[in-house]
Amino acid sequence: MSLYSRATLLCLAAFGASAMATTSGPQQAQVSLHKTYINDAILPPSITWHGASEALLRPADDPWATPFEQGGLKSSPSYDDTLAWLDKLLATSDKLHKVSLGKSPQGRDIWMIVASQEGAETPEALQDNGKPTLLVQAGIHSGEIDGKDAGMMLLRDMVMGDKQGLLKGANLLFVPIFSVDAHERSGQFNRVNQRGPVEMGWRTTANNLNLNRDYAKADTLEMQHMLAAINRWQPDLYIDVHVTDGIDYQYDVTFGYNLAQGLSPASYRWLNDKYRPKIEQALSAQGHVPGPLVFAIDNRDLSQGLSLWNASPRYSNGYGDARHLPTILIENHSLKPFKQRVLGTYVMLASTLEVLGEQGTALRSAIKQDSYRYSDRITLTWESETQPKGWDFKGIDYRLEQSPISGETVVRWTGEPKLYENLPVKGKTRADIKVNRPKAYYIPPQWQAVIERLSIHGIRMTRLEHAKTLTLTQYRFGEPAFDAKDYEGRQRVSAPVSSHKAKVELPAGTVKISTQQPLGDLAILLLEPQSPDSLLQWGFFNPIFTRTEYIEHYAVEPLAAKMLKEDAALATEFEAALKDPEFAKDAEARLRWFYERSSYFDEQYRVYPVLRD
């Protein structure tokens, strides 16, 4: 039968009631020791896993077992318990220090552990040791918390275990919980598609915003703290740890980064040629199954192929590409048990530090090449195309059944491994809209929110001390299209664009942003209006689409007659416009036509205030 039996559902309900009765206080460990998770009965079959990385675990009664190890490998500690354990560890070693990146909206510190052989406590001290630095961020989606527990184990083993040599070649910055408020909105029913931990945090912040859609617009306090930390501590490699949704497959650790077509091609080559082979080898040796980021084009028909993701700057890895900070997005597989995912993350983080110690100089050289590349043409949008090579995909077999509940065809994963050979791969890798690189942008001083946001990103700028007249390129917009629904707290907008040269007087206080700087490419993607993650499309400039002055019909009628009498060319143009039947029968449009060509019309209406040099 295609649906779960009534008996199964009753068992699940009974298990849920039992688990709920034991989720607080000193009985927490009991929940963690259950053989299954509360949602196990409604998930596809779990594949039994044992790997060499299990040797990394310490017994629950070991004095330095992490809360994850103490809790039967199924639970993850609260914010307070995480910090209590880390504080205890920090007290044993002068190689570890704790710094706050800032407070969350609910008043919690976002802590970062600084780990170095020399015991650096400041960005300056860390940079003085000359070693490459890895920034690992866990819990940007706090229900996807594998990185926190893996990082706690790794920190312990770096100061009192067999991983102490890792700090000889590299530094580690570790943020155990990024979305700290959402982490404390914890419960057993937060992520139905994920096998553990027993209690998971929430996906979005206390303001219901998704941090991994916020890199470009940087609306959240949490993201502003993170960007400030990146600017201050200047990591050479950035890892963002997630747990994926979607289809079933054999891989337990998948990861990806910017593409060859992006803004950081040298970093891509380092990641693809030097980094990935070593990491995949290390994971495989420890019994894990690594793979590229996997997204099916059609979850119900794998023969349609796989999607190659070209992330935009709203996401961590797309943002890293734009600012030339090599960024790795880890997506552990949600249907794999928590223990397996945590251990896979541990192996990947430890191996990353090894590679960074060996290949850090080459990575820094790649970053420098990308940062000072200054391409003459910048791609703003991409079109999808079939890639030259397909992928052999280590999947799970499935069958399709008709659901009497939804009435649609549904997938039933069988738990049986299956190799899907040479699946087609499609991805947005064909350049679409491109622009020439301007020398600089000018932003009038009244657009303070925009200027402040660019400053948060670390983009360098100067201010005009005196008014200045320049001939610059200016964009003008056609009819705007506002999204029908709010997205991430904003009303997004796009509009047709035309450009023209304009002689403008820039007031004192106008900001000049040169694109000849390491973050110049990021500035272009944020300021070019056709860029999907431009500040314009995120709604920062929406007031320019509001008309504030009008003309009454009794005034525009005689004005139009006067204009037609005095301007023969205008009269000819109006006659041509009347050939459009829709225009001809629209009295409002006809009067507006004259108003827009009169001296009374607002010259700033639908004009982009950011100018290009």
- List, for residues 159-193, the tens digit of each pLDDT value: 999 999 999 999 999 999 999 999 999 999 999 99
The reported pLDDT for the residue numbered 245 is 82
Segment 1-32, tens digit of pLDDT: 333 333 333 333 333 333 333 333 333 333 33
d(CA 141, CA 354): 27
In the residue annotation, 331 being an active-site residue is answered as: yes
A 10 A CB-CB count for 65 gives 17
| Residues 234-239, mean pLDDT to the nearest whole number | 98
pLDDT band at 602 (very low <50, low <70, confident <90, very high): confident
Contact 85, 111 (CB under 8 A): no
Parallel/antiparallel/unpaired status of strands 237-243 and 327-332 = parallel
d(CA 573, CA 589): 15
Would you tell me the crossing angle of helices 568-577 and 587-596 to the nearest 10 degrees? 150
Q: How far is CA 485 from the centre of its chain?
A: 21
Flag whether pLDDT at 103 surpasses 60. yes
* Token output for 268: 């891509």
**Residues above pLDDT 70, as percent of the chain:** 94
**Residues above pLDDT 90, as percent of the chain:** 89
Q: Which residue type is seen at 213?
A: R
Flag whether pLDDT at 429 surpasses 70. yes
From start to end of 106-163, where are the E strands? 109-115, 133-137
The reported pLDDT for the residue numbered 36 is 64
Tell me the pLDDT of the chain averaged across its residues. Answer: 93
Q: How far is CA 392 from the centre of its chain?
A: 27
Q: How far is CA 264 from the centre of its chain?
A: 17
d(CA 68, CA 66): 5
Q: What residues does each domain of the chain span?
A: 54-374, 391-430, 437-544, 553-597
pLDDT band at 374 (very low <50, low <70, confident <90, very high): very high
d(CA 349, CA 356): 10
Element (H, E) at 415: strand 409-423
Question: DSSP state, 249?
Answer: B
What is the pTM assigned to this prediction?
0.91
| Residues 82-93, mean pLDDT to the nearest whole number | 98
d(CA 212, CA 67): 27
User: Beta partners for 604?
Assistant: none
Burial class, 527, CB count within 10 angstroms (exposed 0-12 / middle 13-18 / buried 19+) = buried
User: Beta partners for 607?
Assistant: 476
Scanning 314-417, the segments in alpha helix (DSSP H) are: 316-323, 338-371
Scanning 434-552, the segments in alpha helix (DSSP H) are: 448-456, 520-527
Flag whether pLDDT at 129 surpasses 80. yes
When computed from its CA atoms, the radius of gyration of the chain, rounded to whole angstroms, is 28
- Who's near 498: CB < 8 A, 6+ residues apart? 475, 476, 477, 478
d(CA 503, CA 308): 44
The reported pLDDT for the residue numbered 356 is 98
Flag whether pLDDT at 407 surpasses 60. yes
Largest CA distance in the chain: 96
Contact 105, 181 (CB under 8 A): yes
Q: Which of 331, 385, 416, 573 is catalytic?
A: 331
N-term to C-term CA, the chain: 67
Give the CATH superfamily of 54-374: Zn peptidases (3.40.630.10)
Segment 464-500, tens digit of pLDDT: 999 999 999 999 999 999 999 999 999 999 999 999 9
- For the ranges 159-168, 537-546, 593-602, the lowest mean pLDDT is seen at 593-602
Phi-psi region of 333 (alpha: psi -120 to 50; beta: other; left: phi over 0): beta
